[in-house]
Each structure stands twice: as C-alpha cells, then as structure tokens.
C-alpha cells in the first residue's frame, strides 16, 4: 500500500513538472512574432533623423502660383518656395513679405507668410486723385460675407466720395466674361480649344471688368477664414492687426476662477483688399482681421460656441470701426498726396 502511494505521488509530481513545458512553445512563437514586428520600428529609431531647419526670408514677390511663390531677396537673388496653401488671394506681385520656410532633403517649403497690413505699390498721390468711379469685385470663402460687401460699398462712397455700383455688377460682368471666354477659345473651323484665351491672366480680367463697368479702379475684396490661437486664461485673441475679446465680460470674469483653461485654434475671418487701376496694375493692398467665428459662452473653463459671420456683421458700428482701420492708410495717403 505504502509503495503504491509513493509511486502515485512520484508520478503526479512528474506530471506537474512536465506541465509548464506545454507553454514554452507558444511563448517562443509570441516572442519571435514580437521581434519580427518590432524589428523595423526599432531599426527606424536607431536611424539618424532628418534635420529640418527653418529659415526666414524678406523679399519682393515676383511670381505667384497655386503651389509656389518666387521672391527676390535683398541680395538680388531669386528664392523659389513651395507652398501647401494657395496664397494668390493674399499676395500681389511687387509686394514685400516675410516668409518662413523649412529646408529638408533639398525642398524649401513655406511654413508661414506674414504679408504687410498695408502697402502702396504706387505712391498714393499718383493715383488717388484720378479715381472717381470704382467697382467692388467680391470673393468670399466664408458664408454670409455678402453683407460686408454692401457695407464696404457704402463706406467707400461716404469716406472716399467714389461712385460705386452694387457689388453684384462685377460678378455679373465676370460671369458674362467666362461664358464669352468659352466661345472665344473655341476655333469654329477646327474645333480646337485655346486654353490661353479661356484662362486669361488676372490683370487682363481686371482690365476687362473695368472697361465693361467704365470705372477708374477695381476694388478686389477677399474674405478668408483663418485659425487664431486662443487661451481662455487671457480672454482675447490677436491676429492681422486686430484684438478681440472672446465672449462677454461676465464670461471672462468666470474664466478667472476656472480650474482648467482652454487653449485651441479658433476660426476667425480676415479681409484682404487689392486696389487695381483700370489698366490692371496693382496700386495698394490692405489686410486686416475682421471678426471671430466663435464666442465664449461664459461656462467655467471657457467653452466656445460657433458663431456665423452674419452674427458679427449685424453690429454696424463694429463693422465701421474695422473698415476705418482697414482703409485708414489709404485715406491718410490720399490726404497727404493731394
């Protein structure tokens, strides 16, 4: 009896010693799979990182394309920069800008551009006295921008004593031009399509609009949506020459007692104005922040709620103040030049 119990005990111990061996093979497979999958990432970590340097350049804009701009630097050399954003609405040839760009693997890619808030491309005394009739050419990347164009037309009539037709006239002229361009670009004999006639230069478009409207100048206006940095601890944001409080006074007071603060990009609007002669020559360009598209609701922590542009444009006094800052340099230049 005693011997049988000893044999059974020794057999059980042997089975217990062998049991862990069943997990050895799966563990080996798991380790091998991990090494195979992690190998490339570990190898990448050991590889030297490509160093990206950021440089700053000041120069005159000589060429503008949808994915590229060319600057003439202070040394007279040409600098070609790749862009991930179409800067055509913001820039004109001959304008001096500051650009920051990264250099990696031979490519020079724009990371930031700082256009001037206003710049005269022609001395104001040489053209302002000759403008009596003008036309507004509106572009808006923000819904509800039409109200701004109407208020801007009224402002220019009052403060510059220019005659301006309704803003829709320029859009109607351009629509007719585009329809005519299709006919002009098609050769009736061969059926060939001339893309050069269909897509004229921007200066040519300006000239044709001025000729059709019989005006001395074209005021081209762009409304853009831009991101701006917001910190609820500070309570306001600054961009493109303006400073705006976010929300009501009560909301900003409550934010001082918040445990956490909001730091985020807030959508805002900026207006860019280009004044062109009837010959299609750029005369002046102005840029100014317009309004935020969000507001602090007053909740602790600075909760932001979206607001349409029409919400801000309903405040006519605030719009007039923005327009006065936008056209201030042009008005002062005209006064000094006359």
Residue with tokens 């409207």: 213
Q: Per residue in 185-224, pLDDT tens?
A: 555 566 554 555 545 678 888 999 999 999 999 999 999 9
pLDDT of res. 106: 77
User: Does the structure show a pLDDT above 80 at 4?
Assistant: no
Q: Per residue in 55-67, pLDDT tens?
A: 888 998 999 888 8
Is residue 268 within 8 A of residue 289, CB to CB? The reply is yes
User: Does the structure show a pLDDT above 60 at 114?
Assistant: yes
pLDDT band at 335 (very low <50, low <70, confident <90, very high): very low
pTM > 0.95: yes or no? no
**CA dist 104 to 50, 67, 100, 107, Å?**
7, 17, 13, 6
Is residue 79 within 8 A of residue 73, CB to CB? The reply is yes
b (16+ CB within 10 A) / e for 40-52: eeeeeeeeeeeee
Distance CA 90, CA 288 (A): 11
User: Does the structure show a pLDDT above 80 at 78?
Assistant: yes
pLDDT of res. 28: 52
Report the CATH architecture of 53-115.
Beta Barrel (2.40)
The sign of the torsion formed by the CA atoms of 142, 147, 148, 152 equals: positive
pLDDT band at 244 (very low <50, low <70, confident <90, very high): confident
Question: Is 184 in a helix, a strand, or coil?
Answer: helix
Q: What is the share, in percent, of the chain residues with pLDDT greater than 70? A: 68
pLDDT of res. 90: 85
116's tokens: 């001037």
b (16+ CB within 10 A) / e for 208-234: bbbebbebbbbbbbbbbebebebebeb
Is residue 129 within 8 A of residue 105, CB to CB? The reply is no
Q: Which residues contact 282 (CB under 8 A, 6 or more apart)?
A: 92, 93, 94, 95, 121, 122, 274, 275, 276
pLDDT of res. 336: 41
pLDDT of res. 14: 52
Q: Which residues contact 258 (CB under 8 A, 6 or more apart)?
A: 232, 300, 301, 302
- The Cα angle at residue 175 between residues 170 and 180, in degrees rounded to 5: 125
Is residue 230 within 8 A of residue 304, CB to CB? The reply is yes
Q: Which residues make up the CATH 2.40.50.140 domain(s) of the chain?
A: 53-115
Distance CA 65, CA 86 (A): 7
User: Does the structure show a pLDDT above 70 at 266?
Assistant: yes
Q: Per residue in 297-315, pLDDT tens?
A: 655 555 678 889 999 999 9
Q: Per residue in 137-168, pLDDT tens?
A: 999 989 888 899 999 999 999 999 999 999 88
User: Does the structure show a pLDDT above 60 at 46?
Assistant: no
């Amino acid at each position: 009896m005693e011997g049988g119990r000893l044999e059974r005990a020794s057999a059980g111990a042997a089975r217990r010693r062998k049991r862990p061996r069943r997990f050895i093979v799966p563990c080996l497979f798991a380790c091998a799979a991990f090494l195979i999958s992690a190998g490339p990432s570990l190898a990448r970590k050991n590889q030297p990182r490509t160093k990206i340097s950021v440089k700053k350049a000041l120069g005159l804009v000589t060429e503008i394309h949808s994915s590229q701009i060319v600057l003439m630097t202070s040394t007279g050399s040409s600098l070609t920069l790749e862009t991930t954003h179409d800067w055509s609405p913001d820039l004109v040839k001959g304008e001096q800008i500051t650009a920051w760009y990264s250099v990696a693997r031979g490519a020079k890619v724009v990371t930031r551009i700082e256009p001037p808030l206003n710049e005269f491309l022609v001395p104001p005394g040489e053209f302002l006295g000759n403008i009596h009739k003008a036309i507004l050419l509106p572009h808006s990347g923000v819904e509800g921008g039409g109200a701004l164009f109407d208020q801007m037309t009224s402002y220019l009539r009052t403060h510059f004593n220019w005659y301006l037709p309704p803003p829709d006239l320029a859009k109607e002229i351009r629509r007719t031009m585009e329809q005519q361009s299709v006919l002009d670009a098609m050769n009736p004999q061969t059926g060939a399509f001339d893309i050069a006639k269909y897509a004229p230069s921007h200066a040519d478009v300006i000239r044709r609009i001025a000729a059709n409207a019989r005006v001395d100048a074209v005021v081209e206006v762009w409304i853009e949506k831009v991101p701006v940095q917001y910190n609820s601890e500070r309570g306001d944001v600054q961009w493109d020459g303006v400073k705006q409080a976010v929300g009501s006074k009560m909301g900003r007071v409550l934010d001082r007692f918040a445990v956490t603060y909001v730091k985020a990009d807030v959508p805002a609007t900026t207006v860019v104005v280009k004044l062109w002669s009837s010959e299609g020559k750029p005369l002046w360009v102005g840029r100014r922040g317009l309004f935020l598209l969000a507001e602090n609701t007053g909740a602790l922590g600075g909760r932001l709620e979206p607001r349409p542009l029409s919400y801000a444009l309903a405040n006519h006094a605030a719009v007039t103040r923005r327009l006065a800052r936008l056209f201030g340099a042009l008005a002062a230049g005209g006064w000094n030049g006359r």
